[in-house]
Amino acid sequence: MTPTKGTRLVRPHTARRNALPRLLGSLLLIAAAGFSGACAVPEASAADSDAAARTLRPLGQVVPAPVSVRAGGDPFLLTPDAGIMTTPSSGEAREIGEYLADVLRPSTGFALPVTDKDAGGGIRLRIDPRAGALGAEGYSLTSRSDTVTITARKAAGLFHGVQTLRQLFPARVEHDSPQKGPWRVAGGTITDTPRYAYRGAMLDVSRHFFSVDEVKRYIDQIAQYKINTFHIHLSDDQGWRIAMDSWPRLATYGGSTEVGGGPGGYYTKAQYKEIVRYAASRYLEVVPEIDMPGHTNAALASYAELNCDGVAPPLYTGIKVGFSSLCAGKDVTYDFIDDVLREVAALTPGRYLHIGGDEAHSTSHEDYVTIMDRAQAVVGKYGKTVMGWHQLTGADPVKGAVAQYWGYDKTSAADRQQVVDAAKNGTKLVLSPADRIYLDMKYTDQTELGLKWAGLVEVRRSYDWNPGTYLAGAPEEAVLGVEAPIWTETLDDSDDIDAMAFPRLPGAAELAWSPASTHDWDTYKVRLAALGERFTAQGIDYYRSPQVPWPASETNGG
């Protein structure tokens, strides 16, 4: 059994779909037109309706900002007899319809049956292979008085369109209990496609271990903002978090602790596959990371033969970096790398295997190049694309490799140039500048959680940079996308993640999705402020940055 985290309660996933979704759906279908007694939906008064009409959210006031918005026409009104109509004979469209229904049913109290037959008014979800201009992830959303229609060429685009629709409904739609209507969406049409193909978020489960349910909760949160890649940091000095048949002590011993000396934990192969499956249901590709040649103390402690001197170090529960290294001169090192990457590759249907490569301060340059070059060959051997932190460019990046840049203001010009030169030679870049979108950096000196080695990162600083021009000299076409990592030296539960990821995560998502022409702090902060009530409805205790004009109810803690 995977070690647990004592008696800590794990809050439901953000989308509230996972504890009892089918039972809830069945009960609502029986209720059909609503609830009765204590579960009744509060009846909206005429004053409530007038207030709702005055506060109807403008069609383009969502995060990430859409490519094109044409507002106009009567707003759509979701009624108790509405249904969700999906493309006939499309299992993916139906699954997305069920997902949307599970979002809307608890707060509206409506039955919202999902059907592939045209039932008149309601929400229509269409996959149309002829909609070539929308690409693999784009969508169009048209709102009229009796219908909202979301059209996409692929299922991923349909799912992203559903996230936009969620934001266009009043924020109270995110509650898990009946709320007052009306449920209106402004009239008009949105046409939307992403700027970058890679839009990522990373969760470090090595410094502190997070349960499968906690990971799913974060997946639900990031999916709402059209993130399409979930990078999971599975190994480090403080813990090894995935079971390996070939090297079982990696998990059972190397995963037995965490920062501060807690019980740690690890995922069985079945649990890891469940995370991968769940991410796929939210149209996220999983990128697993096995860090090397540094950040390896948990592995070195588990197997003495991996150490150059044959002596296993003790398990480590601190937060220092750069002191551990695999042994370049031992054949067993390469057996270990092959075995581990083979098993992880077999469990992961996605394209990438991330092999780390950062902060290898205890590895000579020659040994670093030897290990990383051989590890890259193993990644290719098992049919995957190499990813690594940008120090990989100090070795010999293979053709098609992706370097993840985490540099910041104090990064030397020589290190930056090394990355730029690699980009000019064909290496793709994912940008994660630490002093911009490392979500574990403190907001201010008063922030209780987080670290500040890369500086203090308030919400505006996190948002206000352009990925296309960030690395001077790097070809803009070399930028594959943007990723927001969250490291967990000081974070040990979902509440801690919430406090550091929100409200900065939606800004990172906008940088990755929205066209550069929409980038403007003054308009973004207004759209971000409108998400405050939504965060609260979802149980996210976010940082109320004074840079953002939150509604009074939010700044007062409401």
Between CA 505 and CA 203 the distance in angstroms is: 12
Rounded (10°) CA dihedral 204, 205, 207, 208: 130
Between CA 427 and CA 447 the distance in angstroms is: 37
Between CA 361 and CA 223 the distance in angstroms is: 35
Between CA 111 and CA 101 the distance in angstroms is: 8
Which of 174, 258, 343, 359 is the catalytic position? Answer: 359
Between CA 331 and CA 342 the distance in angstroms is: 17
Q: Do 404 and 430 contact (CB within 8 A), yes or no? A: yes
252 vs 26, 206, 238, 244, 341, CA distance in Å?
A: 41, 14, 13, 10, 18
Q: Do 408 and 455 contact (CB within 8 A), yes or no? A: yes
Between CA 69 and CA 439 the distance in angstroms is: 30
Closest C-alpha among 272, 201, 198 to residue 234: 272
Contacting residues for 512 by C-beta, under 8 A, at least 6 apart: 64, 194, 195, 196, 198, 199, 200, 226, 227, 467, 481, 482
Q: Starting at the edge strand that comes first in sequence, how are the strands of the sheet with 139-143 ordered?
A: 68-71, 188-192, 139-143, 147-152, 122-127, 83-86, 114-115
Closest C-alpha among 295, 293, 209, 296 to residue 256: 209
Closest C-alpha among 343, 219, 238 to residue 286: 219
Between CA 504 and CA 485 the distance in angstroms is: 11
- Residue 510 among the catalytic residues: no
Which residues, in sequence order, are bridge partners of residue 85?
A: 115, 124
For residue 148, the SS3 value is strand
Contacting residues for 467 by C-beta, under 8 A, at least 6 apart: 196, 431, 479, 481, 482, 511, 512
What is the chain's Cα-based Rg?
24
Active site amino acids: 359
